[in-house]
Amino acid sequence: MVAFSLTDHPHRRLNPLTGEWVLVSPHRTRRPWQGQVEKLPPEIRPRYDPGCYLCPGNSRAGDLTNPPYEHTFVFDNDFAALMPQPMEGAVNQAGLLRAEPVQGLCRVLCFSPRHDLTLAEMALPDIRRVVDAWAQQTTELGALPFIGYVQVFENRGAMMGASNPHPHGQIWATEAIPNEPAKEMQQQAAYFTAHGRPLLLDYLDLELTAGERIVCANDHWVALTPFWAVWPFETILLPRRPVAALPALADAERDALADVLKRLTTRYDNLFEISFPYSMGWHQRPTDGKEYPGWMLHAHFYPPLLRSATVRKFMVGFEMLGEPQRDIPAEAAAARLRECSEVHYRD
């Protein structure tokens, strides 16, 4: 019988946050074709774009005009996916055809007035302002009586569906707890009941001891490639203390968060020397006033690129019909990111 190896043999890894499995096939990285490593032409954007609906002073939909903002800027999404109006009624036919009305609010957060920047290229004080805006919006929206969860996220790059290159993210406040944080809520609560400690705090202790999946860290935060990662260069960002939501972060933790965000996103950009696409978002405690034992704040980064700036990972076939699958082991992906400089390639 062959001795099992995480680096050589196909295996499944459990995501304890969701209870779902991912298939890992490290032997496939030895296939003859690995995909050509290509570089795209440099992305050159102006500091200010008169045609951008997110730049200061420019027009938006509905005859609205942006103020001449100098740092962050938040506004209600002009094409919101959720509406705050209360509605009545529901559909339930034999428990199979179900629908219910839902309330919510969607906002856009411009990270900077400059059209040509990303988090990786912003100054630390300006990233700290973004962190503060995330926390402030969570507090403000979470206090509304019809809001149960506040989802902060960023889609970066056209490959991840960003409709505008201006540095920005979104905040969707929903009446119900969405699927992904709901799964994580159940798993974290079950672990806390069984062990008396937060799942992610114990997981972080294991990762700090092992070290092989750590990407970068400081006194308050650790960025690592999770053992169960699905996307090729996926990372998770964890606080060193079990804080539950963004508003609960202390000043030193917010400064350290700005630092680790810049360092991580710079490594991403340096990997293939492009403005690296990703979807990232915060999972934080729901705002409905209920107890959520064991819940710990964390951020997920899901980048699609696989082998180069132009070769991406697709979730198709077995992934859609069976379960997620990856070729590059999490340990190898973390090593690739660790090897990248924290000085941005454009500098």
DSSP character string of 134-155: HHHHHHHHHTSTT--EEEEEEE
57, 168 contact by CB (below 8 A): no
Closest by alpha carbon to 171, among 305, 296, 51, 287? Answer: 287
278, 157 contact by CB (below 8 A): yes
Instruction: Please name the amino acid found at residue 20.
Output: E
Which residues are CB-neighbours of 47 under 8 A, at least 6 positions away? 114, 115, 116
Q: What does DSSP say about strands 104-110 and 235-239: parallel, antiparallel, or unpaired?
A: unpaired
Round to whole Å and give the CA distance between 287 and 105. 14
Rounded to a whole number of angstroms, the distance between the first and last alpha carbons of the chain is 52
Round to whole Å and give the CA distance between 314 and 86. 38
Residue 317 CA to chain centroid, in angstroms?
A: 25
Considering only the C-alpha atoms of the chain, give the largest distance between any 2 of them, rounded to a whole number of Å: 71
Q: Is residue 168 annotated as a catalytic residue, yes or no?
A: yes
Round to whole Å and give the CA distance between 25 and 257. 33
Round to whole Å and give the CA distance between 82 and 91. 19
Please pick, among 168, 220, 298, 300, the residue that the annotation labels catalytic: 168
SS3 5: coil
Q: What does DSSP say about strands 235-239 and 278-283: parallel, antiparallel, or unpaired?
A: unpaired
Residues marked active site are found at: 168
